Chains A and B, each alone.
Chain A
């Protein structure tokens, strides 16, 4: 410490020859570097790099400075200062041909996250990118821009994943996604969980560094950071641009329009940490307890993605199995504005395939198959069937050529065809749904649907309870979905884990319905 009376010392020191006093008090480590304003740090690129939300001329580049990522204050070991971060994009992995570069800054208010949105890139091009700060250089990421609007595209290969509870398994699925070398990765929610796993010890392979429920911004930041320490997740982020939407656990279980919603403050913390840790555009920067994440992504004349938010704007959940509630036409899962945004998009047909990337199960799953009982989930679209009807009718009435709904949330692979009346088993098929299982989150205790269940829901073709992801290969002629499974997420050694395609379906362009390969 200084002298007994600190105020006298400090004021006196400044008043009488402050330069000498300050100079002698300045520790040597603070002046040994050329970057004077910011204290020296250890390698801050512990969370990897990512890119996302590609456009024909732009893609978001992301990293977050965190030399000590698990520190429980959420600042990742960064001193309280502003840091300058250089970035560059190149045509080649060795950066011999740099096409763009620049400098940005980050600080404590941003959780030391870095988002760069370069402009003026070429469409349908692969780029490599990296960051530098304080003398350290980041790992190299690979990304790509989308084809120009309307441009002819031969093929798009993307992965879709969801639900990756940290404790409940190793991220073999992400290792496989990286190995697939996709053009794009869709993450459909539950990137992190707000609370520790409730599974038994034998079903948990690792633990949270800060295991308290995420009720503060510091805890959300630390939780996100711990996920990004995973080498397989880092590899999947570095291989291709991602398009990320959240579900409920990025905030808390069923955080909106339930009997126990999250507080506005908690939503604000969760959204801020989500933005900071996601390669998402600045248009999705949260404003207090609201955030705008629904958006479109176009892939030339081949595919259009409608990335949706089925949590933030939904009407209150109906009482379980309350048919009147489920079918009340004034209730909505999307909110009016998002529904109108989606229906308006259906007025145009820029691409062969329309993919609705969203969170909760779209097709009906009615256990007894009787319309009078509403024996189905109040959290999914079944609990908001009028909302589902309006969207389905929207794409039917507007002749959307090839609508496919993409879903996460439920920790099992499913494939289903879509109808406007699911109780009429001969009603026309109007689209299909692909539901990806979890990366790690458990489905322990769930049992496969029975023959009776399938008989009551003949539009549902497939259910698989293992962990994994879905790989979608889209061409002008067909869309193929490979439902990939991981033999065990509790085995860490990749050599002892089998990753395989468990089932494949195709949909032919212009012909409705899943066909098993």
Chain B
């Protein structure tokens, strides 16, 4: 091998998405903020619509017209996730990479999705939604490439509100985040119902 064999290539995984067609009994399909049936429905998409799927992830199980599955498809153009049980993709297997591909993502806290966290790759911001009047705060904890974390973005404004914060992570770098609910007033917050965590990238 010569030295030139190790030249740096300007490679970023192709953002070209897989495509699918929404298939319901005829009704519009809910688009969820995060891959959970208890996550907020942010809009609907019509039966027969063609969707561009950036990535896929495991969420709550859904029995759709195409079968029962825990697979969810992230459709950035719709601002959220739809169950793969309602999407004709030509395959029961994965047709897109795991979520965290640099076009945004979201997770729910565990349980009934009392907290939602959305990561926007454009600009690298985090939005924290509080969905439950449980007397606790919603929070997103994130870690950065520099070895720093967790940095918290809290939402203590109450049910139905959201808080946006910029992570400050440089373009192209990763952000690992978890969505939690917590007693923010405590000296050391005890973290409850944190999601498993997801790595996404600043575009």
Q: What residues make up the interface of A, taking CB atoms closer than 8 Å to B?
A: 1-4, 6, 9-10, 21, 24-25, 27-29, 32-33, 39-43, 46, 67-72, 77, 79, 86, 88, 90, 95-96, 98, 101-102, 130, 132, 134-137, 201, 206-207, 209-210, 226, 229-231
Whether A70 contacts B199 in the complex (CB less than 8 A), given A41-B13, A231-B147, comes out as yes
**C-alpha spacing A201/B199, complex, angstroms:** 26
The answer, among A3, A71, A77, A137, for a CB contact under 8 Å with B6, is A137
Cα(A206)–Cα(B16), bound, Å: 36
B97 touching A96, Cβ below 8 Å: no
Contact B6 A88 (CB under 8 A): yes
Residues A1 and B11 in contact in the complex (CB < 8 Å), given A24-B90, A25-B91, A229-B145: no
Cβ A70 vs Cβ B143 within 8 A = yes
- In the complex, what residues of B have CB within 8 A of residue A21's CB? 90
Interface string of B58-100 (1 = CB under 8 A from A): 0000001111010100000000000011011111100111101
Chain A nearest Cβ from B167, distance in angstroms:
14
- Which residues of A are found within 8 Å of B5, using beta-carbon distances? 86, 88, 101, 132
8 Å CB contact of B1 from A79, A98, A201, A226: A98
Residues of A within 8 A of B91 (CB): 1-2, 25
- With A77-B199, A201-B188 as known contacts, state yes or no: A230 contacts B11, CB within 8 Å: no
Q: Say whether B3 faces chain A, with CB atoms less than 8 Å apart.
A: yes
Q: How far is the CA of A201 from the CA of B176 in the complex (A)?
A: 22
| Cβ contacts A to B, 15 pairs, < 8 Å | A2-B92, A4-B67, A6-B92, A24-B90, A29-B13, A29-B16, A29-B97, A77-B98, A88-B6, A96-B3, A98-B3, A206-B147, A206-B150, A207-B150, A209-B150
| Consensus secondary structure, chain B interface | loop
Output the nearest chain A residue to B194 by Cβ-Cβ distance.
A211
Complex CA–CA separation, A206 to B15 (angstroms): 33
Known contacts A135-B9, A135-B11; A25/B174 CB under 8 A: no
Q: Complex: how many Å from CA A96 to CA B4? A: 9
**Nearest-CB distance from A116 to chain B (Å)?**
13
A259–B145 CA distance with the chains assembled, in angstroms: 39
Instruction: Kindly state the separation between the CA atoms of A226 and B176 in the bound complex, as whole angstroms.
Output: 11
Q: How far is the CA of A135 from the CA of B146 in the complex (A)?
A: 23
Residues of A within 8 A of B25 (CB): none
Nearest-CB residue, chain A, relative to B13? A40
Known interface pairs A4-B67, A95-B3; 17 further A-B residue pairs with C-beta atoms within 8 A, sorted by A's residue number: A4-B65, A10-B92, A21-B90, A25-B90, A32-B14, A40-B14, A46-B174, A69-B176, A71-B176, A86-B1, A98-B1, A98-B2, A132-B5, A136-B11, A137-B7, A201-B187, A229-B146
**Residue of A whose beta carbon sits closest to that of B55:** A29
B residues in contact with A95, CB < 8 Å: 3, 6
B92: chain A residues at CB < 8 Å are: 1-2, 6, 9-10
CA distance A40 to B11 in the complex (A): 9
Q: How far is the CB of A464 from chain B (nearest CB, A)?
A: 26
Minimal Cβ-Cβ distance residue in B for A100: B1
List, in ascending order, chain A residues with CB within 8 A of B174's CB. Answer: 42, 46, 67-69
Report A90 CB to chain B, min CB distance, Å.
7
Alpha-carbon distance A43/B171, docked complex (angstroms)? 13
Q: Given A4-B66, A32-B14, do A86 and B100 touch, yes or no (CB 8 Å)?
A: no
Contact across chains for A27 and B11 when beta carbons are under 8 A apart: no
- State whether B14 touches A28 (Cβ < 8 A): yes
Residues in B neighbouring A96, C-beta threshold 8 A: 3
Instruction: State the CA gap A69–B7 with chains docked (Å).
Output: 24
Known contacts A98-B2, A229-B145; is A1 also within 8 Å of B97 by CB? no
Contact B3 A90 (CB under 8 A): yes
Chain A residues with Cβ below 8 Å from B8 are 135-137
Q: For the complex, what is the distance from the CA of A77 to the CA of B198, rounded to whole Å?
A: 10
Task: Give the residue of A1, A98, A132, A207 whose beta carbon is less than 8 angstroms from that of B69.
Answer: A1
Contact B6–A2 (Cβ < 8 Å)? no
Asked whether A28 and B16 contact (CB < 8 A) given A1-B92, A39-B97, the answer is yes
Bound-state Cα–Cα, A105 to B146, Å: 27
Nearest CB on B from A368, distance (A) = 39
